[in-house]
Amino acid sequence: GGIIVGLAGAEWAFAANGVAFASFAVVVAGLPSNQERAAGRSGRVLGDLREAVVAARTDARIGVLLVLVIGVGLLGFNEGVMCPLLADQVLGGGPGAFGLTVSAAGLGAIIGGLIALGLRTVTMRRVLVGAIGLSASLALLGVVGEARWLTLPLILMWGAFGTIMLTGTSSLIQAYTPPSLEGRMMSFYAFGIAGTTPLGSIILTSIVAASDIEMGVLLFGLAALVFIGVMVHVARRAQVLGSPSP
C-alpha cells in the first residue's frame, strides 16, 4: 500500500485495498464451520461473553496476555496517526514520504513474521520481547533529532517487533483456550488491538497538537515500557512468565 501511494497516489492504494479485502471476504465466507466450537455456544451474547471473561480470569496466562494486548494496543499500534505525521513533521515530505513510512512498517511486519515462523516454540517471554522492542522503537523515534535517516529503520523495527508480539499472543491465547471458547476469546484479542486504537489515536493527536509527533511517540513509547514492566511483575507473581504453548 505504501509503495502504491508513493508511485500512483492514494486513490489507487485505496482501490487496491478494496480488491484485497473483497478477496479475503470471499475466502472467509467459503471456509467450513467448526461444529465443536458452535456446539459450545449458549446462543446468548452476554452469556457467551461472560463465559469468556470467566475463563480469562480463571487462567492467569490468558488474562495476562489479554491485558498486555489491550495496553500495548492502546499505546503502540497507532500507525494511522503516527506514519503520516512522521512523514510530514520529521521527514518533511508528502505522499511519497508517507508511502515510505507505511512500506517500512509493512516490510518490518514481513521480517517479524519470518522470524516468528523460524522460532521453534512460542512462550510468554517471546511475547514480552516483542512488546518491549515495539515500545523501545517508538520511544527512539521521539529522540532521533537531526538523525532523521534513522526514522525508517526504527519504523521497520516497530513493525517487526509488533508482529512478533501479535503472532505470539494469538498463538498462546488459542492454545490455552478451550475450543468451545476460542472464537469469543479471540474477539477480545481483536478488541485489544483494533478496539483500543481509536482512543490511543485521540490521545496521540492531542499530544501532537500541544507539541509535535516526536514528543507524542516518545511519551507513548515510555508509557508502554512502564506498562510492560508492570505486566512482567504480574506474570512473575502468577508464575506464567515462561509458559510455553501446549
Per-residue model confidence as pLDDT tens digits over 186-240: 888 888 888 898 899 999 999 999 999 999 999 999 999 999 999 999 999 888 8
Find where cell 503472532 sits: 167
Q: At residue 38, does pLDDT exceed 90?
A: no
Three-state secondary structure call for residue 78: coil
Whether the predicted pLDDT of 170 surpasses 60? yes
Helix (H, G, I), strand (E, B) or coil at 244: strand
Cell 516490510 sits on residue: 107
* CA proximity to 106, closest of 223, 13, 192: 13
172-184: pLDDT as tens digits:
999 998 888 888 8
Helix axes 60-76, 213-237, angle to 10 degrees: 170
Q: Retrieve residue 71's grid coordinates.
A: 495496553
Q: Which residues have CB under 8 Å from 207's CB, separation 6+?
A: 215, 216, 219, 220
Q: Residue 244's beta-bridge partner residues? A: 123
Which residue, chain included where needed, has cell 508482529? 163
